[in-house]
Structure 1
C-alpha cells in the first residue's frame, strides 16, 4: 500500500482562496463547492493559510453580533497549515488523518506551490481501490 501516492488520488482542481477575499466570498465558495475548507494562496500560488467552515462560522457569529462585515480571509485563516507532498504515501496521510483534524490536506510541491488537495474521502477511495484489487487477485 506504500506504493499509493497522493498525486494519484488528490483533487487537482480544489477550491482555492486568496487572502484578500471577504469572509462572505469565502463562505459562498465553500458552500457552492461543498467543501469543508480550502487553502489560501498568495499571488505566486504558494500556500499561505487554510480556512475551514468552522473558522467561517466563528467569524460570522462574531460579525452578526457586532454588525461588522469587513473581515477578510487573512483575518480568519490559519497559517499553521499541515500539508503533504504529491509523492507522499496515501497510507502515511491516512495515519495522519486518524487524528481529529484536518479533514483536508493541501498538496504542495517542493517550492510550496499548491498543486491540489487530498481529503479523507480521497484517501478512503485510494485504500478501497487497493483492497478491492487485492480481493480480485486472491479469487
Structure 2
C-alpha cells in the first residue's frame, strides 16, 4: 500500500476502447484512481454508477476518475454500454498496476482464502503524489467521501 505523501507509481493502461491512458499525462489534474474486483457485479456496479453520477462534480474540481480492474477491455466496453457509465475504466489484465498499488492480495470469503482485488481508492494530487487513500472500501457512501476529501484538499 502506498502512503499519503508518496509519489504515485506511474503506469499506462488501455481503456475500454483500447486507448492507452498514462498517469504522467494527467499531471496538473487531480486523479481519483479506484480499483474494483469485477465488471457487472453488484458492488462494482454501484460504485461505477456512483462515480458516474458525481462525475460532473469531480470534473468541475479538475479531477479525472479512473476505475481499474483485471477485466478485459471488451468486458469494460460491455459494462459501460450496459450500465451507461461515464467513468473511464482501465484494463489491468496482468494485474501489474493492481499489485503496484497494493490492491491485489489475499482475501477471505466464507472461510476460504484466495487472491483477488482489494477494493481501494487513491486520490492523487496534480504533482503526482498520493493525497489520500481508502483501503478496503465499503461502497455505500464512498464516492461522497472521496468528493468531500477532494474539496477539503483543494480548499486547504
State TM-score, norm by structure 2: 0.27
| Structure with the higher strand share, 1 or 2 | 2
| Structure with the higher helix share, 1 or 2 | 1
Highest CA radius of gyration, 1 or 2? 1
